[in-house]
């Protein structure tokens, strides 16, 4: 089972992968300003209880955290200590957040983090080679118990080999969604997969994106089919537990 927890909403664009950010796209439909981060009504969701006294999010669930912002956003510095505290309290849940600001993690960690909380997975997003070279050395150098690399939206060919060590638990790849989506070349996806196979690191092709170039042909894929089409490609490697 999986739950979503968005303790704050809104973000500032950090790099090329943010250009067509879905948070901005969705907020624009309601004339909302996505660049103003704010705490949400769901801020304390992990510790909320039902009338019978049980936590609303049951033990054992995977909790996708902060998917309408960046967990390490500067504007959220004042709110994050409380978020860490809830994650610590709910050590029976498995939190996962992705960030384009991995260089901020070390300075924003809680005092008892040590080598990392056992129940927190951090995903470092890299959309192109420049961001891989900038972010991944820092990612590997920061104490984290569970690390995944998220290549999304994949915007170009990637050579991840220097960073595919046993400290990386998974690499996932996805193309870009939305009307302005940039092309994702299937050869780039296969190349990352090959690097993962050689390093024996699990690889997950989680979505195709809206514009997929495959064998010289450009496919336009509607949002509702992007995950299914990726699954159909059948190229995942050592992935066993995907909802
Ligand atoms: S970091 Fe994520 S949420 Fe923030 S602007 Fe970029 S893509 Fe959007």
Torsions phi, psi for 97 (to 5 deg)? -130, 150
CA-nearest residue, atom 3 of ligand 1? 69
Site to probe by mutation for ligand 1, drawn from 27, 70, 153 as the one with most ligand atoms within 8 Å of Cβ, is: 70
Give yes or no for residue 243 having a pLDDT over 70.
no
What is the reported pLDDT for 42? 98
Site to probe by mutation for ligand 1, drawn from 25, 98, 100 as the one with most ligand atoms within 8 Å of Cβ, is: 100
Q: With a 6 A CB cut-off, is 90 part of the ligand 1 pocket? A: no
Give yes or no for residue 171 having a pLDDT over 70.
yes
Condensed to tens digits (0 to 9), the pLDDT of residues 122-158 reads 999 999 999 999 999 999 999 999 999 999 999 999 9
- 95 pairs with which residues across the strands? 63, 120
Mean pLDDT, residues 159-170: 98
- Taking residue 165's Cβ as centre, other Cβ atoms within 10 Å add up to 10
CA of 118 to the centre of ligand 1 (A): 25
CA of 126 to the centre of ligand 1 (A): 12
Quick one: DSSP state of residue 181?
A: P
pTM beyond 0.85: the answer is yes
Q: Which atom of ligand 1 is nearest to the CA of 98?
A: 2
Q: With a 6 A CB cut-off, is 99 part of the ligand 1 pocket? A: no
CA of 202 to the centre of ligand 1 (A): 25
| DSSP string over 38-77 | EE-TTTTGGG-B-TTS-BSSPTT-EEEE-TTS-TT-GGGT
| DSSP string over 126-171 | --SHHHHHHHHHHHHHS--SEEEEEE-S--S----GGG-STTEEEE
Give yes or no for residue 61 having a pLDDT over 60.
yes
Distance CA 138, CA 141 (A): 5
What is the reported pLDDT for 1? 80
CA of 130 to the centre of ligand 1 (A): 17
Q: With a 6 A CB cut-off, is 125 part of the ligand 1 pocket? A: no
Mean pLDDT, residues 167-175: 98
Condensed to tens digits (0 to 9), the pLDDT of residues 69-80 reads 999 999 999 999
Quick one: DSSP state of residue 182?
A: P
Mean pLDDT, residues 189-210: 98
Condensed to tens digits (0 to 9), the pLDDT of residues 204-226 reads 999 999 999 999 999 999 999 99
CB contact at 8 A, 120 and 145: yes
Report percent pLDDT > 90 for the chain.
98
Distance CA 199, CA 191 (A): 13
Give yes or no for residue 48 having a pLDDT over 60.
yes
Q: Which atom of ligand 1 is nearest to the CA of 24?
A: 8
Average pLDDT, the chain: 97
Report percent pLDDT > 70 for the chain.
99
Q: With a 6 A CB cut-off, is 62 part of the ligand 1 pocket? A: no
Quick one: DSSP state of residue 117?
A: -
């Amino acid at each position: 089972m999986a739950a979503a927890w968005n303790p704050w909403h809104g973000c500032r664009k950090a790099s090329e992968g943010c250009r067509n950010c879905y948070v901005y796209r969705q907020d624009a439909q309601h004339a909302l300003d996505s660049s103003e981060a704010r705490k949400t009504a769901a801020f304390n969701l992990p510790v909320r209880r039902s009338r019978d006294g049980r936590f609303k999010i049951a033990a054992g669930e995977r909790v996708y955290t902060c998917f309408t912002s960046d967990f390490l956003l500067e504007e959220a510095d004042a709110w994050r200590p409380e978020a860490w505290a809830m994650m610590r309290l709910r050590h029976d849940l498995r939190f996962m957040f992705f960030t384009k600001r991995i260089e901020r993690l070390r300075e924003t960690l809680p005092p008892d983090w040590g080598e990392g909380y056992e129940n927190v997975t951090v995903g470092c997003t890299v959309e192109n080679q420049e961001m891989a070279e900038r972010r991944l050395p820092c990612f590997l150098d920061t104490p984290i118990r569970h690390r995944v690399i998220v290549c999304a939206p994949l915007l170009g060919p990637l050579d991840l080999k220097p960073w595919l060590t046993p400290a990386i638990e998974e690499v996932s790849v996805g193309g870009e969604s939305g009307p302005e989506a940039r092309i994702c070349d299937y050869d780039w996806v296969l190349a990352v997969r090959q690097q993962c196979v050689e390093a024996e690191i699990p690889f997950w092709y989680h979505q195709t994106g809206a514009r997929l170039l495959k064998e010289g042909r450009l496919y336009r894929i509607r949002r509702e089919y992007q995950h299914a089409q990726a699954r159909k490609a059948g190229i995942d490697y050592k992935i066993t537990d995907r909802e």
